[in-house]
Amino acid sequence: MSDNLRGSLWMMLAMLGFGIEDAFFKAATGTGGVTAGMGTVQFGLMAMMIYAIYARRQGVPLWDAAYLQKGLLIRTGFEICGRLFFALSLAYTPLSTTSAILQAAPLVVMLAAGLILGEKIGPHRWAAMAVGFLGVLLIIRPSPSGIEANAIFALLGMIGFAGRDVATRTSPPHVRSAQLGVLGFAVVTFAGLVILAFEPGKPQLPTGQAALLLCGTALAGIVGYTALTSAMRTGEVSVVAPFRYSRLIVALILAYAVFGERPDTMTLAGSALIVVAGTYSLIRDGRRRRT
């Protein structure tokens, strides 16, 4: 088996894990068994503890002074934004819509890399970004009265994750992936506490069913994160990275089978534009780097 095929399989496993993670979280918060804030706190704590045990077994310290360096602080800030609004979007927005908008994150990363990091972007990739953002507009369909509030959650979450990915490029290279996992899920916990602070009434522990669903959320998230790390370290990025869009296929299937969602034609068309534009941009970027 070639490295490219192995890396592609790892990427598809990662996207399957993340898609199941999203479905579990939406099911837990959608049944009324737990609020978005408390659900995010429990999910973050469970995954952080599992990653902390994994890091210690590898002999990796849980704390690194680099966490306080500018690059990682910026990364942490963006991840708080992404986790906070993505959790709200999963709780209150259709899974298909949330997942579709999230797929635009690589296009935003590319835009930021060109404008902030000074990377060269050719006219073909600028055109692809325009097509991808047109797809986002087809999904959220802004009107003279504004954009639906729930869609704003997904947009802000996507921007937060894109900012995190850009900031990751400037983070200290000696920080291990296990440490980033602990830090990342600590951020999830903090984002949950922020949501919890603004939720009405006293915090309530999740019901038994919701707690089990959140356990599934944590396990699926860890599988996804671990597989994603393996994918990006195996094979060529330009070959492996486009398979990240398989997450949208997983989300659409789960949205239909579990939640009975029926995305309309505009949402499906917008999703297709985002996937085509993102895939083209990633392949084009890989060819440019090889050249």
3-state secondary structure 77-120: HHHHHHHHHHHHHHHHCCHHHHHHHHCCHHHHHHHHHHHCCCCC
Q: Are residues 283 and 236 in contact, defined by beta-carbon separation less than 8 angstroms?
A: no
**One-letter amino acid identity for 66?**
A
Residue 276: domain span = 3-290
Rounded to a whole number of angstroms, the CA Rg of the chain reads: 18
**What is the pLDDT, as a whole number, of residue 173?**
66
Residue 192 DSSP label: H
**What is the pLDDT, as a whole number, of residue 149?**
61
**What is the pLDDT, as a whole number, of residue 47?**
86
Give the CA angle between residues 33, 37, 42 to the nearest 5°.
Answer: 75
Residues 6+ apart with CB under 8 A from 246: 11, 12, 15, 16
Smallest CA-to-CA distance from 190 within 87, 74, 119, 63 is with 87
**What is the pLDDT, as a whole number, of residue 23?**
92
Smallest CA-to-CA distance from 103 within 202, 15, 216 is with 15
**What is the pLDDT, as a whole number, of residue 226?**
81
Number of domains forming the structure of the chain: 1
Whole-model pTM: value is 0.80
pLDDT in tens, the chain (291 residues): 677 788 888 888 989 999 999 999 999 987 777 888 899 999 889 888 988 888 888 888 888 777 787 777 888 888 889 888 988 888 888 888 888 888 888 788 778 777 776 777 778 778 888 888 888 888 877 665 555 666 788 889 888 888 887 777 666 667 777 777 788 888 889 998 999 888 887 888 888 888 899 999 889 988 887 888 788 677 666 677 778 888 888 888 999 888 888 888 888 888 888 888 888 877 776 666 666
C-alpha span between 80 and 84 (Å, rounded): 6
